[in-house]
Amino acid sequence: MEKIFIQVLLVVTVSRVFGKYVYKREEKTWTDAQRYCRQHYTELAPVSGPEDDLKLKDIAGGSFPLKFHWIGLYREPNDFTGWKWSDGGSATYLNFSLGNPTNEPSQNFVSLGDSGWYNTLNYPGYFFCLSLFVVTEPKTWEEALEYCREQYTDLTSLLSETEMLLAHREIQEQAQTALVWTGLRFLGDRWLWVNGDPLDYQAWPPGGGHQCPARNLRCGAVGTAGHWEAHDCQERLSFICY
């Protein structure tokens, strides 16, 4: 009986979901981890800022430095400064540990460590996936928020150009409406993400008129052009959860 219990416990802890991140405690090289995340989720995880760094470190717990923990950052061989995320977006936030990155031409894949990031060889390690879900059934913004919180985690926040690119890719492939709800909401006198994420990155179109929206245009959507749009909260749209 004890042996059976241990085997079940190991299976349960292989994959754990933490909001938009899925933590995979199974060993793969960076390239195999990228392939796995693209097949089963959205992408090998990008990191948008210090808040995401802290989330990933909390998720990994005390397993540093025993294992590599792959994130979606890499560079092409011999391109020592061209760091980018695995969807192809340029990296605007970097948090390398002391002494990194090195200019070793074979160390082109980045793992998360307890004191920062390390560029290293393509060894097997644990990894983080980003998980976004487009729900095609049209709902009002409030209905979409309720659905995401019941079935997934929340309406998604989009914290960087990389996350916008990934969301836009999913929207183009799956959405049934021209606009798609996100977790963006105008409350009081400002726009915010309903899950509490910081609103540092913004993707409003030039002259979008978002600073003081009309009373019925206070919910944020993403269009097929890849910009945010202030939209009527009562309109029924597809939406994106994490």
Going along the chain from its start, the domains and CATH numbers come out as: 13-130 (3.10.100.10), 133-241 (3.10.100.10)
For residues 61 and 36, give the distance between their C-alpha atoms in angstroms, rounded to a whole number.
22
∠ at Cα 181 (178, 186), nearest 5°? 125
- What's the confidence (pLDDT) of residue 66? 66
221, pLDDT greater than 90 = yes
Residue (of 116, 132, 109) closest to 28 by Cα position: 109
Query: pLDDT tens digits for 26-72?
Result: 999 999 999 999 999 999 999 999 999 999 989 988 666 667 899 99
For residues 60 and 57, give the distance between their C-alpha atoms in angstroms, rounded to a whole number.
5
- What's the confidence (pLDDT) of residue 80? 80
User: Which residues are paired to 84 by β-bridges?
Assistant: 74, 90
- Mean confidence (pLDDT) of the chain: 88
155, pLDDT greater than 90 = yes
Is 139 or 76 the better-scoring residue by pLDDT? Answer: 139
4, pLDDT greater than 60 = no
- What's the confidence (pLDDT) of residue 64? 66
By percentage, how much of the chain surpasses pLDDT 70? 91
- What's the confidence (pLDDT) of residue 5? 35
Going by their DSSP bridges, the two strands 21-28 and 125-130 should be labelled as: antiparallel
- What's the confidence (pLDDT) of residue 81? 84
CB 92 within 8 A of CB 161: yes
Q: In terms of DSSP H, where are the helices of the chain?
A: 2-12, 30-40, 50-60, 141-151, 161-174
Is 1 or 204 the better-scoring residue by pLDDT? Answer: 204
Residue (of 50, 85, 65, 58) closest to 125 by Cα position: 65
Tokens describing residue 225: 């052009």
Give the DSSP H or E segment for 173: helix 161-174
For residues 213 and 93, give the distance between their C-alpha atoms in angstroms, rounded to a whole number.
31
Q: Stretch 173-181: mean pLDDT, rounded?
A: 93
Going by their DSSP bridges, the two strands 43-44 and 15-18 should be labelled as: unpaired
Q: What are phi and psi of 175, to 5 degrees?
A: -65, 145
The structure's pTM equals 0.85
Query: pLDDT tens digits for 80-107?
Result: 888 999 987 889 899 999 999 998 989 9
